[in-house]
Amino acid sequence: MGIKINPAIEVIKMNKNVKRPAPTKTKKPVEKKKFIEKRVRRDNSVELIIKKSPMETIWGKILLIVILIGFVLLPVASLVWLIVEALNR
């Protein structure tokens, strides 16, 4: 009755000693996708299709900030101004 060796452990030990080539990174050229796609229908009507989310574009983020300022900050500022004017009278 000799010592039993697990063959799976031996395979793992052997694989660690094998030298493998380093993986090389290849950069693929980045395709710039169009934000708006223009299609012409059979009846010569133009159809514009938006491909990206507005949050993925700079103009979309700027528009969101402008909308937030218009709906949140301007009403609050005008209410504060009206309260100050009412208290000064």
pLDDT tens digits, 29-88: 777 777 788 889 889 898 988 888 878 888 889 999 999 999 999 999 999 999 999 999
| The pLDDT of residue 20 is above 80 | no
CA dist., res. 73 & res. 80, Å (int): 11
CA dist., res. 70 & res. 1, Å (int): 86
Q: What pLDDT band is residue 10 in, cutting at 50, 70 and 90?
A: low
Tell the residue number behind the tokens 């990206």, with chain if given: 52
Give SS3 for 15.
helix
Sign of CA dihedral 15, 17, 18, 20: positive
CA dist., res. 60 & res. 53, Å (int): 8
Instruction: Kindly state the average pLDDT of the residues 11-33.
Output: 67
